[in-house]
Amino acid sequence: MFQPLGFEHRETLTSLGRMVYYTNGAPPWQKSGQKNEINEKLVFIHGFGGGSSAYEWSKVYPAFASSYQVLAPDLIGWGRSEHPARNYQVDDYLNVIREFLESTCQEPVTVVASSLTAAFVIRVACLHPELFKSLILTTPAGLADFGEDYSRSIFAQIVSIPIIDRLLYSTGIATRDGIRSFLEQRQFAEKDRIYPEIIEAYLESAQQPNAEYAALSFVRGDLSFDLSLYIQQLKTPTAIIWGQKSQFTGPEIGRRFAQMNPEAIRIFEKIENVGLTPQLELPAVTIGLIHQFILLLQKGLDTQVIEYT
């Protein structure tokens, strides 16, 4: 897998198997023979899609390596982590996210997460607020929000048909053309921002043994839920970043979430001309916003939502 300079991969065990994560444990961030004096941790968790992995945040998290111990996991079923042959459900990922944080973070931590995974993180924070210091989330959506259930779409119904689902994965998802099509149609606002390394990283993850199980659970809609039913339970200080051209989950959904819980969701930032993953499409802008929002959330803000657009 693609691994930034100065980062090494480590492992922790979850109830669903071995989970790999990347951390700044090598030069230039960790000098030989010197004790690492960085104590505060910062966690980056990727979203879902054909070939997703911690690579999604790899153009962003090295910018924080001099100030934090960065942890960027491959979720179970993705990247280098184990790929159990199972039909994944929402509780599977709620559990492994909680288990990962409990095993790697001894103090409340800031978590940066994206899309459906960001919605999972909100639910984990509602149940276990003691694990979190703050949340910075890009396009958090449960994909069944406010009654608009993705699992009822024609594509999700087709992918639910046995045999056809595996055929679609092997021929339409886990290929270079399939990956490029997914990135163009689902994740990016501008096609020319998709360069070959991105496609190769997604393809390598998508072609891991048993990678189809988690991906098909996602595209069938098995992992979808209505985040609006949980958002008011959130207490953790939160900032939301939303790409203005996010497919299927437009910024109006994010605004509704923010308006439902202004005490927790302190900041809502819409980015023009960007899609679902600003961390890949405009990484420098995303880095700047994360730096800014960490400071603002630590200082504490008025309960009124700050919207920058």
25: helix, coil or strand? coil
Q: How far apart are CA 101 and CA 122, in angstroms?
A: 14
127 CB neighbour count, 10 Å cutoff: 11
Q: What is the pLDDT of residues 4-41, one digit of tens each?
A: 999 999 999 999 999 999 999 999 998 765 666 677 99
Q: Is 2 part of a structural domain of the chain?
A: no
Q: What is the number of domains present in the chain?
A: 1
Number of H helices, E strands in the chain: 10, 9
Using alpha carbons, list the distances in angstroms from residue 234 to 98, 119, 167, 198: 15, 11, 40, 33
Residue 143: which of 204, 217, 195, 221 has the closest Cα? 221
- What value does the mean pLDDT of the chain take? 92
- Specify if 155 maps to a domain: yes
Is the four-CA dihedral 235, 101, 290, 274 of positive or negative sign? negative
Report yes or no on 3 lying in a domain: no
Tell me whether residue 279 is in a domain.
Answer: yes
pLDDT of residue 160: 66
Q: What is the pLDDT of residues 119-156, one digit of tens each?
A: 999 999 999 999 999 999 999 999 999 987 666 776 66
Rounded CA-CA distance 177/193 in Å is 16
In a domain? residue 16: yes
Q: What is the CATH number of the domain that holds 192?
A: 3.40.50.1820
Pairing of strands 265-271, 306-307: parallel
Average pLDDT for residues 170-185, to the nearest whole number?
91
In a domain, 164, yes or no: yes
Q: Residue 39 falls within a domain, yes or no? A: yes
**Helices 211-220 and 196-206 meet at what angle, rounded to 10?**
100
Domain range for 55: 8-307
Q: What is the CA radius of gyration of the chain?
A: 18
19 touches 100 (CB < 8 A): yes
- Asked whether residue 1 is domain-assigned, the answer is no
Burial (CB count within 10 angstroms: exposed 0-12, middle 13-18, buried 19+), residue 129: middle
**pTM for the whole thing?**
0.94
Q: What is the distance between the alpha carbons of residues 257 and 146, in angstroms, rounded to a whole number?
A: 10
